[in-house]
Amino acid sequence: MNKGAKRTLLALALQLAALAVLGLAVRGTSWLDARSKPRLLVLVDRSQSMPRADTDSTLAEVVRAAHAAGVGEVRSLEFAGRPAQAAAAQTGDTDALQPAATDIEAALDAALAAHAQAALDSVVVVSDGFENKGDAARALRAVREARLPLQWLALGRPPPPARIVEVLAPDRAQLGPGLQITVQLAGQLERPLRVKATLRSAGGDTATASTVTAGAARVMLALDARRIGAAVVDVALEDAATGATLDALPDAAVIDLSPRAAVLYASGSRPGPLARSLIDGGWALKLIPAAQLEAQTDGLDAYRAVVLDDVAVSDASPRLWNALVAAVKDRGTGLLVLGGERSFARGGYRASSLESVLPVLSEPAALDQPASVVFAVDKSGSMGRGSGGVDRFALAQRAVLETARSLTERDALGLVVFDVVPRVLVPLGPAAAGTLALARDWQAQPQGGTKLAPALDLAIAELESSRAARRLLVVVTDGFVDEAPLAELRARLDRARIETVALAVGPDADVGALERLVGAGTGQVLRVNQAAELPSVMRAGLERQRSRVERGRITVVQSLALPFSPGMLQGWPEVSAHAVTRSRPEALVAVQSERGEPLIAWQQSGRGHVLVVTCGLGPWAPQWLRWRQWPPLAGGLVNWVSGTPAGQAVGLTVTDLPAGLLVDADIAAGALGAGPGDVTITVDTPTSAGQVLATDRVAPGRLRATLPDAGAGLYTFMLSTAHGSQRQLHLRRQRAENAAWGINPAVASWRAAGLAGEWQPGLLARRRDDDGQRAPDRALIGLGLVLFLAGVLLDRVPLERAKVSAALRRWRTRA
Amino acid sequence: MLSFATPLWLVGLALLPVLRWLHRGGQHRRSVPVSRLGLWRAAAARPPAAGARQPPDPAWRRRALLAALLFVALAGPQWPARHEPVTLWVDDSLSMLTREAQGTRLAIGMAQARTLLAGSAPADVEVRALSQPWQRFDSASDANAATLAASAGRRPAQPPPAALLRRDRRHWLLTDGAHAAPVDWPGALQPDRRIQVGGTVRNVGLERLSARRQLADAGQADLLLRVSNGGTAAETRTVVISGAAGEVVRRVLQLAPAGSALVNAVAPLAADVRATLQPADALPEDDAITLSLAPLRKRRVATDSTCPAALMAAVQAHPALALAPANATDVQAVLDCGALGAARELPTLRLWAERTPAPARGAVQWSSAVEGSRRIRLDAEWLWLAARLQAGVADTVLLAAGDEPLIVSRAGTPKRLETGLDFAAMGSARRAELPLLVNLMFDQLLGSRLLEELALVDRGPASSWIAPATRAASAAARTPTADRHGDLRFTRDATQPLLAAALLVLLWEIAALCRQWLRLRGPAQAGAE
């Protein structure tokens, strides 16, 4: 082969090489041109939870690994509470990034924006994964949709040498010392460590407890709970020698603190079966006789509910009743009123402040029946002005007059005064005329002894002439009843259907004789220790006597679900009596007599739940106590009025989401009326109070609401339905950036879900398939050009070996 | 106008005269015939000036062309784009599947978009769905339209992310205007072109079907169906809900415009349930809904037969749990009271009994790992313990009484809960807390809320709306994205075509060299012979 052919062959080989190189360039092969090499963006977490030095070295390592893997361009973007601008190098200025927070979502969004401007081949995130802003998972899904490979290089601070692992606390507790919490520690625990716990109430009160330990992994602390309501527990771990804080866990737990006695139970007679059941059921009960109710006037706020078991209004002063009404209406104290001989109309509830919050009015139908009332007033000498200056007879006159004024136009009245001889001062006649007569001078002076029998004979005779539906005899005496044929008189009273109210005035009154006269059935004996009370006692006594208590075998009918679970009970036993009342229009009557008179009724009075049982839960309903439904009935009644959850009837579930809270309310089928309109959910957030949530009925018995994030702290939810309410505390925790360490477990879950990959430097060299959008590798084009030109040169410039050798020799010689 | 990314490379064009020089004609190209080689020395060649200079080798033009192409390619030529790149944003709400006379709104819209794009012949078209904006399609083809239609309505359509509203692209929007989100673009922007489709305004749709297990009868599910009138006229529809055993509810509904109604039903928990609307309307996709009740089926628990009867009874009575033999394989959890032997790779609840049962001491304390709403009221005096658990650093004490752990969640997978509670002793009290405690433990073990589980298909509150909303006022205040472009020029990289041309020229050059080699090789071989 001649030289020309050889040269041409070499030139041909060079051109073929150029062809191959340019072919690679057209195909998109990357070689030396950075533009055609994989592009990498490194997101660097610069929040306070990240170790600065380790982060720097890790970033440097990532850059080295990327370059070693053939990545052309490595850009870094620092972020914390917000992302910085993408930069080819670290900025070092972290303050502008809000390092006290971490918003991974914002950083990933910034990466996507950069990717949209100039395609990236992969993203590496250097972070511990702890976030307190945004929703990293959502952004990771967007990155996956964008088909942008993402590797997560998890890096976090090492845990402190000694640390708090967990805090265990009760979710509910009663006020007082000895509220126990347990702090679980880990790490190097050999040296003396101080564990300090602080109980913070909403009102700003704090209680602190601390203990020094060495070597113990579990430490118990006792706190002094002094304020009702939600309280948040903060825990800190300190070096006992230096006082330096080693670890802290703010918002470790929330505890709902309630009064030591959650229910105040006032009993007008012996404590009833309900009280015993509640005590047996573990209720925190403060049990007092009705006479001591007055002493609770200033302490009602300490109770979630008050139970009045056969309590009369006269058992306490108006101040107590006003305080109770205010507690119910304004502060949501529950009220359960149980019927009995001393309650409702008989207890003087009519027109009282107590009645203003009750779902029933103490207005029995019997009050509308016309009655004939004869007053028999003792005018013996002892009724006159005594040594104390009290004129009992004058007070008796006033009492009769005031009582007469309470009678209606359909009533009739008469007056008999007596000492040893009785005398009709006002014959039985229309009440209006009789009242006018009573208002005039009685023409009687207290003198002489006391003989009851003739007076009663005269009064009975007067009443027997009456056609009124009811006949009532009011006897006022302060003397000793002797020689009176009590049994005979009582029989005569019974035959004439006369109901007797006897007022025994002063300490000398023969109460025993009067009780034998009146008997236990239809009448009553009222003691009047202070003569000044005589007008009010007489009036109330007559009113109570006129009010009716339905007696007999009374069939019980349930017409409406009770406001607690189970709403409907089967097989209600009969009751033997109940106070006859009339329900308010706004009240709900679940259980009633066959005649339609309320037995169990309730209403919401202001913020409080009020429920009445007119037949009581005692002697008038003996069969109820043996009924198999007694436990749920007794517990449910008190549960409902005290506003505590009734088992699973109402459930409120609060779930933390990155963007807020998801609230699910489960309403049992029996307790659910319809939908959102029947149920309200209000919430107090760390930044607002009384916010009402819009609910959506997403499933049978399930209402759902969402609450935008209002920051870390205590959220108090109140779910209210017509059947009850439930309070739920929720502590939204965000551990401070400077208190976080380790890796967020969520990183592992993101990896498991395919949202993030493990750190694999070898994968960084992979170019993302971006549909040929990249420019060809300029280095390859240049190489192709060089090869081509070399071929041309070789073809055009004959290089003979001798000439070349000579030229080299000449060059060497010159050199 | 042509521009270059790195024009410095154009300096290389100065080499072209050198190339020509290399191919110059002249003396060195002349042949001098002599009879003997010895006469060569005496031969007197005429100087170049003695005659006409020969033309250069025509190959120089080809080579110069190739070199020029490569130098220009290195300079990164940018051609002015005749047509701007377009991003077509497609509203893939369910309403886009509404049938119009010519087909679905989506198909009609995509056809319109194709026509418009063909008319303007854009160089670069990308199609993005508003429900998945980060996913990119490279054309408005029928295939891509079919892909979009297949996923329409599955996720809510959102406004385009600001990051994708690039200034160097035109942004078109294909929508029916039935929903606000697709047209509420960030930064008060509005699309450069809006392709509005759809004229039908009457539709009733099934918005949501949900089911819950009945607590009283675990074999039944309570259903709740929400039906919405998404049109502009009052409508009457018959709703039919069917289960495995056939029809469970049929109800006629009168629905005012934008009104909705709830339908309750009860169906066996055995299979899926399906709700349909009759008659069907312009959007048949929302006239039927199928709900799988599988999430509500009971979890089978492989149970150690030596477990206390009270515990077994509580599991048996649990609406979401079912007892299974200890060796059963199709189970989701294991209840181990010490007789099961080797641990299985399943969530396991382990009961320990190592000492004489004794009542727990101290107040009940909860871990923060147990949500407040899951906690139950427990009386410490009711709790009896038959073992003392030790919790490791990585373990979580879920419940404790005083300093004694009652329920411990062990670190690692599968999940393992251990308790020292004595259910035999506690069961004798027959208190309601026992089943609640069992439920709590299995909640924690299985990571779910067993008593509150839902099966749910939710298309969203406005899924049945198909009538376009009036948005003239809001649109007037918006800025077309085109206004943001200003003097921005849309260019297109021309390196690839230049390289392609260079490759062709290079092939030509190679062919020429091949011919040359053959020509030169021929005489040499002849001389050798």
pLDDT in tens, A510-545: 888 888 888 766 678 888 888 788 888 888 788 777
What are the DSSP calls for A678-729, one per residue?
A: G-EEEEE-SS-SSEEEP-EEEETTEEEEEEE---SEEEEEEEEETTEEEEEE
Across the strands, what pairs with A238? Answer: A194, A245
pLDDT at residue B486 greater than cutoff 60:
no
B212, B365, B499: residue with CB nearest A776: B499
How are beta strands A360-361 and A371-378 bridged, if at all? unpaired
pLDDT at residue A385 greater than cutoff 80:
no
**Are residues A22 and B502, on separate chains, in Cβ contact within 8 Å?**
yes
**Are residues A792 and B22, on separate chains, in Cβ contact within 8 Å?**
yes
**Are residues A22 and B211, on separate chains, in Cβ contact within 8 Å?**
no
Which positions in chain B touch A785 (Cβ < 8 Å)?
12, 67, 70-71, 74
Per-residue pLDDT tens for B426-484?
A: 887 667 788 889 999 999 999 888 888 899 999 988 889 998 865 444 444 455 555 55
Q: Are A502 and A475 in contact (CB under 8 A)?
A: yes
**Are residues B520 and A5, on separate chains, in Cβ contact within 8 Å?**
yes
**Are residues A142 and B134, on separate chains, in Cβ contact within 8 Å?**
yes
Mean pLDDT of A69-77: 83
pLDDT at residue A772 greater than cutoff 60:
no
Mean pLDDT of B290-315: 92
Mutate to test the interface with A, among B61, B66, B139, B273 (most CBs of A within 10 A): B66
Which positions in chain A touch B66 (Cβ < 8 Å)?
788
Q: How far is A746 from chain B (nearest CA, A)?
A: 15
pLDDT at residue A171 greater than cutoff 60:
yes
Q: Are B87 and B502 in contact (CB under 8 A)?
A: no
B134, B373, B402: residue with CB nearest A146: B134
Q: What is the reported pTM?
A: 0.64
Q: Which residue of A has its CA nearest to B499?
A: A26
Residue of B149 and A721 predicted with greater confidence: B149
pLDDT at residue B225 greater than cutoff 60:
yes
pLDDT at residue B527 greater than cutoff 80:
no
pLDDT at residue B504 greater than cutoff 80:
yes
Where do the DSSP E strands lie in A353-468?
360-361, 371-378, 412-418, 422-430
A1, A116, A168: residue with CB nearest B365: A168
Cα A498 from Cα B12, distance rounded (Å): 134
**Are residues A217 and B393, on separate chains, in Cβ contact within 8 Å?**
yes
Whole-number pLDDT of residue A383: 82
Q: Which of B7, B22, B26, B27 is nearest to B64 (CA)?
A: B22
A2, A22, A648: residue with CB nearest B503: A22
**Are residues A180 and B363, on separate chains, in Cβ contact within 8 Å?**
yes
Q: Which residue of A has its CA nearest to B166?
A: A117
In which element (H, E) is residue B277 found?
strand B273-278
Per-residue pLDDT tens for A490-511?
A: 888 888 888 888 888 887 778 8
Which positions in chain A touch B63 (Cβ < 8 Å)?
788, 792
Whole-number pLDDT of residue A645: 45
In which element (H, E) is residue A60 found?
helix A52-68
**Are residues B393 and A186, on separate chains, in Cβ contact within 8 Å?**
yes
pLDDT band at B291 (very low <50, low <70, confident <90, very high): very high
pLDDT at residue A795 greater than cutoff 50:
yes
pLDDT band at A650 (very low <50, low <70, confident <90, very high): low
Size of interface A-B (CB pairs under 8 A): 211
**Are residues B372 and A173, on separate chains, in Cβ contact within 8 Å?**
no
Per-residue pLDDT tens for B140-181?
A: 888 899 999 998 888 888 899 887 887 778 899 999 989 888
pLDDT band at A88 (very low <50, low <70, confident <90, very high): very low
Max mean pLDDT among A154-158, A793-797, B44-48 falls in A154-158
Q: Which two tokens stand for residue A651?
A: 């459930």
- Note the helical H segments in A504-578: 511-518, 534-546
B375, B396, B500: residue with CB nearest A166: B396
Per DSSP, the three-state class of B355 is: coil
A218, A647, A778: residue with CB nearest B74: A778
Q: Which residue of A has its CA nearest to B521?
A: A5
Interface confidence, given as ipTM, is: 0.75
Composition of chain B by helix, strand, coil, percent to 5: 30, 25, 40
Cα B349 from Cα B358, distance rounded (Å): 21
**Are residues A116 and B163, on separate chains, in Cβ contact within 8 Å?**
yes
- Note the helical H segments in B447-494: 472-476
Please give the angle made by the CA atoms of B252, B258 and B262, to the nearest 5 degrees. Answer: 45
Q: What is the mean pLDDT of chain A?
A: 83
Per-residue pLDDT tens for B325-336?
A: 988 889 999 999
Q: Are A614 and A360 in contact (CB under 8 A)?
A: yes
Residue of A2 and A554 predicted with greater confidence: A554
pLDDT band at B518 (very low <50, low <70, confident <90, very high): confident
Whole-number pLDDT of residue B473: 40
Whole-number pLDDT of residue B121: 65
Mutate to test the interface with A, among B225, B365, B376 (most CBs of A within 10 A): B365
Per-residue pLDDT tens for B259-284?
A: 999 999 999 887 789 999 999 899 99
Whole-number pLDDT of residue A93: 60
Residue B337: is it exposed, middle or buried by C-beta count within 10 angstroms (0-12/13-18/19+)? buried
**Are residues B510 and A19, on separate chains, in Cβ contact within 8 Å?**
yes
Mutate to test the interface with A, among B361, B393, B450 (most CBs of A within 10 A): B393
Q: How far is A114 from chain B (nearest CA, A)?
A: 8
**Are residues B134 and A731, on separate chains, in Cβ contact within 8 Å?**
no
Mutate to test the interface with A, among B167, B448, B513 (most CBs of A within 10 A): B513
Whole-number pLDDT of residue A61: 92
Q: Which of B460, B456, B375 is nearest to A654 (CA)?
A: B375
Mean pLDDT of B232-251: 91
Residues 6+ apart with CB under 8 A from A805: none
Whole-number pLDDT of residue A597: 86
Q: How far is B376 from chain A (nearest CA, A)?
A: 9
**Are residues A785 and B377, on separate chains, in Cβ contact within 8 Å?**
no
Mutate to test the interface with A, among B138, B215, B366 (most CBs of A within 10 A): B366
pLDDT at residue B102 greater than cutoff 70:
yes
**Are residues B163 and A18, on separate chains, in Cβ contact within 8 Å?**
no
**Are residues A166 and B402, on separate chains, in Cβ contact within 8 Å?**
no
Q: How far is B301 from chain A (nearest CA, A)?
A: 24
**Are residues B517 and A731, on separate chains, in Cβ contact within 8 Å?**
no
Per-residue pLDDT tens for A570-611?
A: 889 999 888 888 888 888 888 988 888 899 998 888 778 899
Q: Which two tokens stand for residue A611?
A: 């429920």
B456, B503, B510: residue with CB nearest A26: B503
Per-residue pLDDT tens for A260-300?
A: 657 899 988 777 788 888 777 667 788 888 888 888 887 78
Mean pLDDT of A676-683: 74
Which positions in chain A touch B458 (Cβ < 8 Å)?
698
Whole-number pLDDT of residue A767: 65
Q: Which residue of B has its CA nearest to A632?
A: B432
Backbone angles phi, psi at A519, to 5 degrees: 80, 180
Which positions in chain B touch A182 (Cβ < 8 Å)?
365, 397, 400, 402-403
Q: Which amino acid is at A701?
A: G
Whole-number pLDDT of residue B48: 52
Q: Are B219 and B507 in contact (CB under 8 A)?
A: no
**Are residues A733 and B403, on separate chains, in Cβ contact within 8 Å?**
no
**Are residues A788 and B70, on separate chains, in Cβ contact within 8 Å?**
yes
Which positions in chain A touch B363 (Cβ < 8 Å)?
170, 173, 179-180
Whole-number pLDDT of residue B475: 46
Whole-number pLDDT of residue A768: 62
Which positions in chain B touch A781 (Cβ < 8 Å)?
70, 73-74, 495, 499
Cα A221 from Cα A255, distance rounded (Å): 14
Mean pLDDT of A360-383: 78
Ranges A637-646, A649-658, B37-46: which has the least confidence: B37-46
Which positions in chain B touch A218 (Cβ < 8 Å)?
403
Mean pLDDT of A136-143: 90
Strand order in B260-268's β-sheet? B260-268, B220-229, B204-213, B454-458
